[in-house]
């Protein structure tokens, strides 16, 4: 299969390297020093989970237009970067292309094919201009929720440190041929790829974890294992998890998971330095809009109060401003 990974950072490079190792024709969209290192020396992928470490010589560019139509496109850029790159990604999309947004937070396509009163709802925190679904039609999208940890430790060097689980699902919750095809290829590449008939529930399970753990990690500098060992911090985590679960219920999603059960999932990542902490330490903009801002916008629209989440949001925004980081 021809596969393009748009955003060959930690998660994207993990997906790209493993698919390349299993025999697919993979190209990467990256930028800056990371792109130059991949071009000159190849992608150095260190796999602490599976046995696919190596240096991968893959085509790489800063512009998706360079590659033409693909069979699969994995969008693994930060969610707040999508509006600016999505138009160029249309060059990768043919009549049969499957686009898999493997991103943190609430995805911009969430209210596509959801049915009911919320069908077509537009969130300004995710899509400020309200154009993303007109640029990339929802029919080509396959939902994806990522449960693994990876780090970009140097230009051209990515380490996968924990997990290998990817959950896939159609926006309309159908049991499609393409769903099982993508899952099959990912399994062959070393992932635990699951097919879901309720992808929005899986999105919320991941989202409430990101909503709680990511800002706390960025504020404290703690790894995941350190957060999970601190009972006072876990009280904050539990409160935000509860608030997020309440918002999900207002939109018809029963997370059906207690805070302790969600914390148990987080414990599986061990000593991972989760994404918002990595971004803060590397001077990059934080994924606040798709993770925290979107949840707060949904809460406001549905009349749910999220006081603890609001407090954490104010603190992490202040931390970002103090470090002169862009707010996204």
CA distance 94 to 91: 8
Handedness of CA 131, 87, 294, 241 (dihedral sign): positive
Residue 239 token pair: 């409160």
Residue 119 token pair: 């069908």
Query: Residue 227 contacts by C-beta under 8 Å, 6 or more apart in sequence?
Result: 213, 216, 217, 220, 233, 234, 237, 266
Q: Running DSSP on this structure, what letter comes out for residue 270?
A: T
Q: Of 2, 41, 78, 206, which residue is the catalytic one?
A: 206
| CB-based contact 85:144 (threshold 8 Å) | no
Nearest alpha carbon to residue 274 among 194, 198, 220, 204: 220
Q: Where do we find the tokens 């991103």?
A: 103
Does the annotation mark 206 as catalytic?
yes
Tell me the CA distances in angstroms from 50 to 54, 144, 157, 161, 184, one per residue in order.
12, 21, 16, 10, 17
Packed helices 307-322 and 199-220: angle between N→C axes, nearest 10 degrees: 50
Which residues have a catalytic role annotated? 206
């Amino acid at each position: 299969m021809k596969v393009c990974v748009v955003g060959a950072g930690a998660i994207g490079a993990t997906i790209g390297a493993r698919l390349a190792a299993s025999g697919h024709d993979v190209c990467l969209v990256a930028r800056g020093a990371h792109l130059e290192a991949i071009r000159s020396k190849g992608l150095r992928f260190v796999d602490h989970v599976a046995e696919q470490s190596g240096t991968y010589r893959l085509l790489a560019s800063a512009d998706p237009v360079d590659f033409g139509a693909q069979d699969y496109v994995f969008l693994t850029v930060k969610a707040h970067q999508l509006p600016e790159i999505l138009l160029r990604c249309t060059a990768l999309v043919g009549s049969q292309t499957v686009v898999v947004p493997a991103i943190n937070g609430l995805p911009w396509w969430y209210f596509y094919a959801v049915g009911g009163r919320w069908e077509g709802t537009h969130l300004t925190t995710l899509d400020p201009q309200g154009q993303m679904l007109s640029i990339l039609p929802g029919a080509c999208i396959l939902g994806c929720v990522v449960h693994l940890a990876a780090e970009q430790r140097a230009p051209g060097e990515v380490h996968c440190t924990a997990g290998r689980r990817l959950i896939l699902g159609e926006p309309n919750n159908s049991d499609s041929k393409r769903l099982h095809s993508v899952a099959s290829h990912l399994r062959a590449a070393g992932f635990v790829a699951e097919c879901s008939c309720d992808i929005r529930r899986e999105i919320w399970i991941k989202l409430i974890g990101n909503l709680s753990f990511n800002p706390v990690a960025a504020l404290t500098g703690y790894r995941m294992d350190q957060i999970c060992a601190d009972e006072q911090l876990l009280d904050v985590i539990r409160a935000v998890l509860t608030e997020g679960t309440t918002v999900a219920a207002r939109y018809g999603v029963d997370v059906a998971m207690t805070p302790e059960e969600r914390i148990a999932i987080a414990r599986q990542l061990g000593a991972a330095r989760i994404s918002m902490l990595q971004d803060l330490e590397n001077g990059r903009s934080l994924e606040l809009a798709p993770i925290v801002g979107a949840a707060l916008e949904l809460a406001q629209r549905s009349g749910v109060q999220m006081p603890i989440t609001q407090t954490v949001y104010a603190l992490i925004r202040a931390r970002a401003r103090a470090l002169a980081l862009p707010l996204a």
